[in-house]
Amino acid sequence: MTGNEQKYIAEAFAGNWIAPVGENIDEFENEIAEYTGAKGAVAVSSGTAAIHLALSLLNIKRGDTVFCSSLTFVATANPIVYQGAEPVFIDSEPDTWNMSPLALEKALHYAFLDGKLPKAVIIVNLYGQSAKYDELLTLCHHYGVPVIEDAAESLGSSYKGISSGTFGDFGIYSFNGNKIITTSGGGMLVSDDLAALDKVRYLATQARDPAIHYQHSVVGFNYRMSNILAGIGRGQLQAIEKRVTARRNIFDYYKEQLSPLPGVYFMPELNVSRTNRWLTALTINQKEAGVTSNQILKMLIKHNIEARPVWKPLHMQPLFKGHKHFSHFEKESLSEQLFHTGICLPSGSNLTSSEQMRVINYVKESFEEALNKEGIV
């Protein structure tokens, strides 16, 4: 917390605007729209809710297909299932770890020949890194397929000077407790289609028709953010650039200290983009390093340092067993490689220098242990 949040919370209490209506919600939406360059925004209860609403607006229904990045958290794809549609998973590419234009082209061509194009494509900006939007949007526009940009992790990032989250027909942000700014729990849907956003507000408040009595013509959702949480978001947003700078500095120091180790490769950054480095992620080439990513994770966990593999690709999840997956390479999946070799290191904006050095030292120690076991040292 920055300390500024309490001011907006106090104002909400003083005005007795506690429920999902009030000045904080209106202003938080305006401030996010202004910061990102979107024409409008709607504050909702989670990033997942924002994706669900976007799919509802696009009339995704049972029997439809939606293409989705495979290397992401399950929340990206769950709303597809909520709508009764079928997710089809698209592999990553090496330059960004995000959706592969090559794999997407294969999938769209296959779907076109099959006579069943997807009703939408959900593109994820993994760990804050923007995807290759020039290539991806060109493909989607060619086939007339709408794009939902899952920018849950990438607020504060940009691609060719344009804010992450504003490339698709709809963009979504998450303000979960672990994101670069938080409302404790919450999300935002942004778009340049203001009429669509008005419909989002309608759907997100139980789709209540304009009548003095309670009347409902379509199914709605209880998805609006509370005025209290929006106040937290307003205070948090004031610190976004400091957070991005802090996370980028953390990434840079990890890279400076650990890149000299054999077989260590950090998540790349496109030269036309600026990532917020929400998480510092790297891969370990076991043949070069002499140590596996799993051994490093065990070393960190042993010393009470929370670290994780990169996301397990959705096409590998038991939940989605049997669903189609289109790979970047001809015979292997890059997202699977990243899962088996990747590590996410502690990256919080408030990580101290001594805490970060502790992580670095234990990573180095895991390399030394592996060498000692092999009798090389």
Q: What is the pLDDT of residue 374?
A: 63
- SS3 state at 261: coil
Q: 5-239: which CATH architecture?
A: 3-Layer(aba) Sandwich (3.40)
Q: If you average pLDDT over residues 174-190, what whole number do you get?
A: 95
Give pLDDT tens digits for 298-350.
Answer: 999 999 999 999 999 999 999 999 999 999 999 899 999 999 999 999 999 99
Q: What is the pLDDT of residue 373?
A: 72
Which two structure tokens, joined as six digits, stand for 307? Answer: 């670290």
The Cα–Cα gap between 297 and 320 comes to: 26
Share of the chain above pLDDT 70, in %: 99
The average confidence (pLDDT) of the chain is 95
Q: If you average pLDDT over residues 5-30, what whole number do you get?
A: 91
Which two structure tokens, joined as six digits, stand for 254? Answer: 């990890």
Share of the chain above pLDDT 90, in %: 91
| Terminal Cα-to-Cα distance of the chain (whole angstroms) | 46
Per DSSP bridges, beta strands 158-159 and 162-163 are antiparallel
Checking if the pLDDT of 375 tops 70, the result is no
CATH number of 241-373: 3.90.1150.10
Tell me the one-letter amino acid at 376: I
Q: If you average pLDDT over residues 116-138, what whole number do you get?
A: 98
Give pLDDT tens digits for 185-207.
Answer: 999 999 999 999 999 999 999 98
In the chain, where are the structural domains located? Answer: 5-239, 241-373
Per DSSP, what are the bridge partners of residue 280? 345
State the pLDDT confidence band at 116, using cuts at 50, 70 and 90.
very high
Cα 109 from chain centroid (whole Å): 26
Cα 222 from chain centroid (whole Å): 22
Give pLDDT tens digits for 214-237.
Answer: 999 999 999 999 999 999 999 999
| Residue 136 backbone phi and psi in degrees, to 5 | -65, -45
The Cα–Cα gap between 254 and 252 comes to: 6
pTM of structure: 0.95
Checking if the pLDDT of 166 tops 90, the result is yes
Query: What distance separates the 2 farthest-apart alpha carbons in the chain?
Result: 80
State the pLDDT confidence band at 377, using cuts at 50, 70 and 90.
very low
